[in-house]
Structure 1
Amino acid sequence: MGQDGGFRAEEIDTSRPHPARIYDYLLGGKDNYEVDRRAGDELAAAAPEVRIGVQANRDFMRRAVRHVVGAGVRQILDIGTGLPTSPNVHETAHAVAPDVRVAYVDNDPIVNTHAGALLSGSGTTSTVLADLRDPQAIIDHPEVRKVIDFDEPVALLLVAIVHFLTEADEPERIVATLRDALPAGSFLVLSHATSDFADRRDAEAVYNQATATLNLRPKAAVMRFFDGFELAEPGLAQVPFWRPDAPSPAGSETIGIYGGVARKSA
C-alpha cells in the first residue's frame, strides 16, 4: 500500500494498545487512544525510566541517521516507522543531504495514513503497509522498490522494533533475510529493549494485551542481529551513550535500550 492508500475505520484496531501508539503517547504525541494511554501509564509505572528512554531512543536514531548519511548512504529503509515525530528520518537525513530517499514501513494502518499525509507529494519518500515478520515481502514491495535501489548501499533502520518479535517469529532469520538483500557498504541501525539493567518483567507484561508482545533480550542476543556487519564505535551501547552530542539526562544509566550502527563490508 502506498501513499495514496486509504483504510476503512474497521481496519484500525482500537480495542488493544498498539506499540506505535504507546510510543507516540510516551513521547507526548496526540495520535493515540485511551487504551494506548492506559498502557503507557502502566509501562511508566513498571519502568520509571521509560519516558526518558523513548526520547533517548529517538535521539539515537537521529544521530545514527546523520552518521550513515555522512558516510555517503543516500537511501534509507525504515521498518517499524512509528507515528511521525519531528524531526523524522527524512527530515534528519535531508538536513545532511537533500537527495536522500526514504521508504517508511509499518504494520499499523494509522501510522501508514499519517505518514502518507505527511509525505504527500514527495518523490523521495514512500510509505508502505507491511509487516516485519514477512521481510521478503518488504524487499519486493513495489513502493519500496520505487525509492530503494538494492544495488546501491542502503541504511536499514530497525529502531525499537525487533523486540516485538517473539522467538517463534525467528527474529535472527528475519534480520538475516533483510541483511542478505543489502549490498556491501550498507548499514544496519538497530535498537532493542533489554532487562540487563533492571528486572522489567512487569513492563513486558503490559504488552501481553497489546497487538505485539515485548520480548526483552540480553546484550549477547542483541549482538547476534549484527552478524555479517561490522559495528562502528562505540559498539553496542545503551542508546544515550551511543555517540552523544549533548549531556545525557539524569537516570540515563538505567535506560534499558541497546543501540548500534554497523556496516556490511561484503
Structure 2
Amino acid sequence: MVSESARAEPALPHPLPGAVGLSHLSAYDWEAADGVCGGSPHLHLVCTEAYVVTGGSGAVQTLSPDGYRDIPLKPGSVAWFTPGTVHRMVQGGDLRITVLMQNSGLPEAGDAVFTFPAEILADPDRYAAAATLPPGTGPDTEAAARRRRDLAVEGYLTLREALVAGDGGPYREFQRAAARLVRAKVPTWRELWRAGPLATAERTGVQLDALAAGEPAYLDEATAHETAPTRLGGFGMCGRRDEYALPGTTLPHQAE
C-alpha cells in the first residue's frame, strides 16, 4: 500500500515535464567591444541550460575546463551547458531560441552570475547594482541592459584571453567568486528545489509504487494544462525574452 503521506502533492503544482523552466529568446543585435553582436556572458552554479534553435543563425561561445569553444547554431540545433560553463549567445542573423532550464525556479532566484570584472564580483553591492535592471521594457531598461552586457563582455574577454593562452587561473577564480556571491541564497534555492524539481521526481516514485501495487488510482486525476507567455520582450541575459509565469516553472527574474 502507498501511504497517504507519500501521495501528497508537491507544493508547486503542474510543473512542465521534469520541472524545467521555459522561455524564448531573440538574441541581442548590439555590437560589443570585440565587434561581436550578442548577449551577456554568464554561468549557472547548479542548473544545466539548453538552447533549442528555432530560427536564424548564430553561435554560442563557451568557456570551461575544455577550453574555449565556438558552437554554431542553426534551426534544429540543440546545445547545452552544465553548471560552471560560461556561455555567450552570439547573433548571426535573426537568431531565435527556446531555452530549457534545469531546476526551474532556481535561475529566477539568482542562479546566474555575470562575468563582470573581478573588482565588481568582489563587492556584492556593486555586483547587485550592475546586474539589476529597472522594471519594464522601455528605453531606460534597454540602456541598462546594454551597459550590463558590455560590462559582462569586458570581464569575459579577459577570461577568454587567459584560457586560450593556456592559463585557466582567471576562469577558475571567476567560478569561485561566483560561488561566493550566491552562497547566502542556497537555503532559498534548496526550498525551491524541494518544492519543484525534487517533488516532481519523487512523485514519479510514488506512481511507480502504485503501479507495482496494482493501484494506479492517480490516473483518475489525469488532465491537460495550457498557458501562453505572460511577458513579451523582456531584457534577459542573452536577448529579448518571452516568459511563462507558471508556478514552479518560470517566475519573473528577480535579478532584472
TM-score normalized with structure 1 length? 0.28
Computing the radius of gyration from Cα coordinates, the structure with the larger value is 2
Q: Which structure's residues are more often helix, by fraction?
A: 1
Q: Which structure's residues are more often strand, by fraction?
A: 2
TM-score normalized with structure 2 length? 0.29
